[in-house]
Copies of this chain bind each other. A is one copy, B any other.
Amino acid sequence: MSVDFDELGSIFARRDGTNNELPPVLIGSHLDTQINGGRFDGIAGVLAGLELVRALNDLGYVTKRPIIVVDWTNEEGARFSPPMVASGCFVGQYERDWVYDLIADDGPRFGDELERIGYKGDKPCKAGAIDAYFELHIEQGPILDAEGREVGVVTGAYPSHGMRVRFEGETAHTGPTPMDLRHNALIAGARFLTAVDDIGWEFAINDGKATGSRLAAWPNKPGILSDTAQCVADVRHPDPVTARVMAEKMRRAAKASAAMAGCVAMIEDEWSWGGDIFDEELINIVRDEALRQGYNWRDIRSQAGHDAYHMAMHCPTAMIFTPCKGGITHNNNESCEPGNFLASLNMLLHAVVKRADR
């Protein structure tokens, strides 16, 4: 394969086809992890692409279209938020220089760090014509494992709405300042995340989720009320209308929490994803392989964010989920056996070849 990387450090390994003028088939995922992440989230999808190419090499089989295996930079957003920036820039959702200017919690700039590790390439981060994009990923949830399924055919994604909110208050002494004169931004943030969690439980019986994932207050020290707090929260629900209602409840909770703490809330950023974003034809190819090869499969919807969501804006896209033990993920205890990948790898191989031979 010929290997290169683009301006944002995404790595592309290309296997030529018999007609290299045709738009290629891409197989991708990511090698980066969460700060406490496991060994399969993302990594399995990149290795799956390489394993598929090895299998074709072993068979001496050359497809009509080229096949490109991609590792996307910064899918997780663990150090540089937001996540999935490289695939987003690739399909035109983000500007390259905006990504370069992202600042890590610990100070450095995205572009500088990319240069430091030697992965700031010359190749433009810009998608050309692509025939299809496939992504294999661990489910990151408990459903396939609990039902004893070998594989999941991903039909779409839970509609999700997230936001980053900034609360502004005023520092003061924790002791003599009367309750009615306080503007403690930390309390605004705490009330907001509590309200978000309540929203999650309110909609949990229909598989809704609401998450507070970050609260960074300043000064956040004993003895002083906090001046500012930044929170990140999101809601997800299988039904798009319900997800929208949850999102609005979350927005109102931000304002109400700020008011209760004598602070103001500013929504700094909002994002949405999910829905029926994947390609019907590609989903059918994947599902037909599950049927043809006789696997214990089910249709499933993705609930996490994936680079495939960005790719789906640009070209026909499909995902395949593999079971992971207990659904444990974003955790060092993430665990899969080699057998977990048998069905998904065979389905991916045949689906990719079918598409690449068009």
Contact = CB atoms under 8 A, between A and B. Distances in A.
B193 A186 contact: yes
B331 A81 contact: no
A204 B180 contact: yes
A317 interface: no
A141 B204 CA distance: 45
Given A78-B224, A82-B222, 8 more contacts: A34-B224, A36-B219, A140-B175, A171-B331, A176-B327, A179-B204, A213-B225, A215-B220
Contacts of A303: 175-176
A174 B140 CA distance: 10
Nearest to A174: B211
A318 to B, nearest CB: 18
Most chain B CB atoms below 10 A, which of A36, A217, A302: A36
B189 A211 contact: no
Contact of A222 (B186, B210, B232): B232
Contact of A190 (B36, B181, B184, B197): B197
A155 interface: no
A234 interface: yes
Contacts of A212: 184, 186-187, 190
Interface residues of A, number: 77
A221 B174 contact: no
A179 B201 contact: yes
Number of copies: 2
B225 A173 contact: no
Given A209-B177, A304-B176, A330-B171, A83 B223 contact: yes
A326 B176 CA distance: 12
Contacts of A56: none
A133 to B, nearest CB: 20
Contacts of A222: 77, 81-83, 162, 213-214, 232
A341 interface: no
A327 to B, nearest CB: 7
Contacts of A36: 171, 219, 224, 227
A239 interface: no
B141 A173 contact: yes
19 contacts: A36-B224, A77-B221, A77-B223, A78-B223, A141-B177, A176-B209, A176-B304, A178-B204, A186-B212, A186-B213, A186-B214, A187-B212, A189-B190, A197-B260, A197-B261, A213-B224, A214-B220, A222-B232, A223-B330
Contact of A329 (B34, B139, B172, B227): B172
Contacts of A214: 186, 217, 220-222
A215 B191 CA distance: 12
A111 interface: no
B175 A221 contact: no
B200 A226 contact: no
A305 B304 CA distance: 47
A102 to B, nearest CB: 13
A209 B261 CA distance: 14
Contacts of A226: 213
B304 A173 contact: yes
A266 interface: no
A193 B194 CA distance: 9
Contacts of A190: 189-194, 197, 212, 215
A289 interface: no
